[in-house]
């Protein structure tokens, strides 16, 4: 490798380091973007459940075929396999905003003391 090639590579490396250093930080996500990300996360979780269900059904079908074809060999299917659970249709309910959830509501007024115990400095009644 010649010195010229090395110098060009070093210059490009330095330029890329400077370009990376000048990139601004990403902006904070807006509430709409956060809600969209939450829905995408819920859809991905649902897709995972559906794929698991389809895999379970395919494995059950393959096992049934295996035991049907090897019935003469004396093998019996085990009854310990769990049943496949259908995840049902996709349903996403967005969480309530903090204001609607009552996060900023004032505390309720106390109508009774917090406990029925005597204070620590109170004398105890004498036993008869």
pLDDT in tens, 9-65: 888 888 787 666 667 788 888 988 989 999 999 999 999 999 999 999 999 898 888
Domain ranges, ordered by start, for the chain: 30-69
Q: How confident is the model at residue 120 (pLDDT cuts 50, 70, 90)?
A: low
DSSP state of 106: P
Helices (H) and strands (E) counted in the chain, each on its own, are 2, 0
- Reading the block at residue 77, the tokens are 């299917």
Q: How confident is the model at residue 107 (pLDDT cuts 50, 70, 90)?
A: low
CA–CA gap between residue 94 and residue 34 (Å, rounded): 11
Please, which residues have CB within 8 angstroms of residue 38's CB and are 6 or more apart in sequence? 94, 95
The pLDDT, as a whole number, for residue 11 is 84
């Amino acid at each position: 490798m010649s010195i010229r090639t090395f110098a060009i590579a070093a210059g490009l490396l330095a330029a890329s380091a400077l370009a990376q250093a000048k990139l601004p930080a990403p902006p904070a996500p807006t509430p709409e973007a956060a809600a969209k990300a939450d829905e995408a996360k819920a859809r991905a979780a649902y897709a995972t459940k559906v794929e698991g269900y389809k895999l379970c059904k395919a494995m059950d079908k393959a096992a049934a075929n295996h035991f049907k074809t090897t019935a003469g060999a004396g093998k019996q299917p085990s009854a310990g396999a769990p049943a496949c659970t259908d995840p049902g249709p996709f349903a996403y309910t967005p969480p309530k905003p903090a204001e609607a959830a009552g996060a900023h509501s004032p505390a309720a007024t106390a109508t009774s003391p917090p406990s029925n115990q005597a204070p620590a400095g109170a004398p105890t009644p004498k036993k008869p």
